[in-house]
Copies of this chain bind each other. A is one copy, B any other.
């Protein structure tokens, strides 16, 4: 009997929040690696907000997942068969293996991991795409200077916690925004943020802005944008001249369907944003980390030793079972996770 594997495919495109109907768990035959290919049994897969964008058919920076296609995800696991001289069974590797128990990829699309160097899950978070996103965005577009003030939301997530900790190491005042008192406590106590505000405690952007202004007495020089929505609305008037806004995401708007919906976005008119950029000489840069893999070795060289030494800390939130990935993903979009969301597959 042929061995089998499980995968989750996109059954239909969601309208707003994804429902169970949008996903379908399938059992299929295990593929055999072709020439130069490697078969990996996934141990852990990553869930990230960007995946919500892949579920839409809208023109974006990346192609959507086709209906019936396996949902996209990075994962780490063990090589169980190899047709490449670069990998042998027993090796550990990271690759875009998808929402699936196994994946078969060309060897050049896999990165070998050394389990002796630390937990392999780090390749999904602190030393993987999210951590690299935070480091690249901050260094390339944030251009932090000691004494400045940085604000980042999703402060305990893998991007926000990387950004905040790097900024603290660079001598900045760092103010986080997170969902819930527990996360705010983690931001200050575990990640060393100077302050953290619970956005759930504020009915509107105006009241959030008031406390944010108190937490940032010298204004905001860098706003690392990963959420949009109410937080952006609160932050924008507090930006200092010559401020920088790297944009890597806008999770608040991912489920909005029509962009711009939502009462709190009314103040965020295009002219108002444009005017803020002009009169404060802001530098606003959108980016996707996949365009910048050439910097990955530099990132690892700089950050991996700091993770090993404990100078940079990280949190993981591990769900179990591929079948529970849709629910964990929905929770992620609502901030239900604490730290990097991972799904354990074995």
Measured CB to CB, the residues of A under 8 A from B are 59-61, 225, 228, 232-233, 241, 247-250, 253, 256, 259-260, 265, 268-288, 291
Contacts and interface: CB of A to CB of B under 8 A. Distances in A.
A277 to B, nearest CB: 4
Contacts of A291: 281
Chain A facing B: main interface SS? mixed
Contact of A277 (B247, B253, B269, B276): B247
Given A281-B288, A281-B291, A282-B286, A273 B270 contact: yes
6 contacts: A61-B241, A233-B270, A253-B271, A270-B272, A280-B286, A283-B284
Nearest to A267: B270
B265 A250 contact: no
A232 B277 CA distance: 14
A265 B259 contact: no
A300 to B, nearest CB: 23
Task: Give 10 nearest A-B pairs by CB, closest first.
Answer: A268-B270, A260-B269, A278-B286, A277-B286, A260-B271, A259-B271, A284-B284, A61-B279, A247-B278, A60-B279
A242 to B, nearest CB: 8
Given A281-B287, A281-B291, A284-B284, A270 B260 contact: yes
Contact of A250 (B278, B285, B286): B278
A111 B191 CA distance: 53
Given A265-B269, A279-B60, A280-B61, A247 B274 contact: yes
A240 to B, nearest CB: 12
A295 to B, nearest CB: 15
A295 B100 CA distance: 56
B287 A275 contact: no
A232 B274 contact: yes
A270 B253 CA distance: 11
Given A247-B277, A268-B270, A285 B282 contact: yes
